[in-house]
């Protein structure tokens, strides 16, 4: 099983002393989220940075109408929220969320919640700033995290906006792998900007192609 911790996520970097990586990792502490528990909501500045080590997180934007319907909707773990929400991202284990910059725009109805029981490693912006003053290598580590996050965002934009529907569904299936079955169909449809009916047809077509290839 692939490890998802701070040292492993930075193992590809060269020229950084292991002592610096270990010191950076010690700034992070584990936190747990239950299903539908909110990690962050509208207007919350980037006070923290997180590494998801287990579970799945759903980054979405609520419509103004659904926000007005029930501001406490997140407290109901059985409520199907995704129908009126726009999925912006689905975070898998190994994903960093947040940065010393602003995490979510204050003018948007954005949330990051857990799709199921999840574990993250978290640290605060103040801890990061103080540690960077003590260890110059820590700034390089932080920059590497920011670059990786930016590259992931650019790949997401390319998939969602520059590819036809069938290709979007194929790339999503490849990216999510075994996690695909753990994500509600309405969340996947919103993620790909498709109707649930259209997504269902694409999935059936992909399965038919796979089965035909086995013959």
Count of CA atoms in the C-beta half-sphere (13 A) of 50 = 24
The domain defined by 6-162 carries CATH number 1.10.275.10: no
Predicted confidence (pLDDT) per residue in 21-80, tens digit: 999 999 999 999 999 999 988 766 557 889 999 999 999 988 665 555 445 444 444 444
Token digits of residue 135? 């260890």
Please check whether residue 95 is in contact with residue 16, taking contact to mean a CB–CB distance below 8 angstroms. Answer: no
CA distance 76 to 66: 14
Predicted confidence (pLDDT) per residue in 74-111, tens digit: 444 444 444 568 888 899 999 988 754 444 444 467 88
- Residue 92 is classified by DSSP as P
* Domain ranges, ordered by start, for the chain: 6-162
CA distance 191 to 15: 38
């Amino acid at each position: 099983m692939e490890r998802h911790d701070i040292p492993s996520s930075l193992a590809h970097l060269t020229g950084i002393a292991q002592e610096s990586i270990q010191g950076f990792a010690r700034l992070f502490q584990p936190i747990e989220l239950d299903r539908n528990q909110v990690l962050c909501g509208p207007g919350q500045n980037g006070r923290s940075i997180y590494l998801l080590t287990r579970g799945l997180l759903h980054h979405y934007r609520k419509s103004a109408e659904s926000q007005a319907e029930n501001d406490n909707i997140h407290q109901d773990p059985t409520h199907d929220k995704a129908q009126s929400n726009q999925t912006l991202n689905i975070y898998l284990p190994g994903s960093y969320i947040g940065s010393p910059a602003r995490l979510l725009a204050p003018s948007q109805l954005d949330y990051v919640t857990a799709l199921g029981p999840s574990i993250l490693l978290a640290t605060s912006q103040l801890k990061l700033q103080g540690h960077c003053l003590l260890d110059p290598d820590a700034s390089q580590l932080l920059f590497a995290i920011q670059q990786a996050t930016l590259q992931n965002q650019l790949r997401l934009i390319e998939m969602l906006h520059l590819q036809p529907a069938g290709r979007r569904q194929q790339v999503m299936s490849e990216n999510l792998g075994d996690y695909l079955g753990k994500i509600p169909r309405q969340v996947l449809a919103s993620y790909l900007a498709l109707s649930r009916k259209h997504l269902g047809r694409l999935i059936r077509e992909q399965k038919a192609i796979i089965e035909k290839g086995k013959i």
